[in-house]
Amino acid sequence: MGKSVNTALGVCTLVALTAIAGCFVDRSGLAGLERPGPRASCTPACEHGGVCVVTDCFCEPVDYTGPSCSEWIDDCVGVNCMNGDCLDRVRSSSCDCDKGWAIDQGGLCTVQLLSCETPNACINGSCDDSSGQVVCVCEPGFEGTNCNVPVGCGSPPEGPPNSETGEVTGTEFGDVVVFSCQWGFGPGYASVTCQADGTWETPVLECQDVDECAFGFGFCNPFGTESCNNDYGSFECECSDGWHGTYCHELD
């Protein structure tokens, strides 16, 4: 479902994109390569945690597809739970069984729920059949007739200013979303988890401007630079006579 990586990357693989110089990635959550230089550019921008690789969006691991990872993938298409409803999850689906039914080994609602001895009667919870009916009391973070459905938190929260939304493992109990500061801002990364009550943790991350010129010439070529000038979220190299280029690294 994710798009193939642009052939211009040659031997560079998606796994190594953030470590190999020359492969330019705008990876939400990884803030591009940890070095100065060109950034990937996707138009329209990748959404929902998709990865911009050169000029194409790579949509995994989120449950979206399309040129900008904006089209939701319905994983319940073609799924018949038999005696229950199909719930669309992130790159998967699960069945929430009707009262009196439990899921089988294949995840479908085909097992009649007669007692607490019924297989998968209460998967993530305690079972009580003293009244003649099976009653499941779910553990925190789970719901459904058989306590087999993780609580959902909905779309991830917005990140703080000057940050990017990164890896999204899912939107259910225990799933994680990673935020990172954009290039030129720090200090780094923060993650939030979907909690048992169906809410996301609040991102604890403050992305402040990084002074790339704090240490002498910073990223500028020390042999061809007159001065390094810090700017909000970026910097500029002022070249000495006889030098030019973004980092004053090219001779006239």
Per-residue pLDDT tens for 166-225? 778 888 999 999 988 887 887 788 899 999 999 999 888 888 888 878 876 777 888 888
Q: What residue ranges of the chain are covered by domains with CATH 2.10.25.10?
A: 211-252
Tell me the pLDDT of the chain averaged across its residues: 80
Model confidence band, residue 34 (pLDDT cutoffs 50, 70, 90): very low
Both tokens assigned to 250: 């090219």
Give whole-number Cα distances, 205 to 114, 184, 186, 231, in Å.
50, 15, 9, 21
The per-residue pLDDT for 24 is 38
Residue 7 makes CB contacts below 8 A (sequence gap 6+) with none
The CATH code belonging to domain 211-252 is: 2.10.25.10
Task: Please say if the pLDDT value at position 165 is more than 70.
Answer: yes
Q: Please list the residue range(s) of the chain that carry CATH number 2.10.70.10.
A: 152-210
Angle at 125 between CA 122 and CA 127, to 5 degrees: 60
Q: How confident is the model at residue 61 (pLDDT cuts 50, 70, 90)?
A: low
**Of the candidates 234, 230, 208, 207, the residue with the CA atom closest to the CA atom of residue 217:** 230
CATH for 152-210, options being 3.90.1150.10, 3.40.50.1370, 2.10.70.10, 3.30.9.10: 2.10.70.10
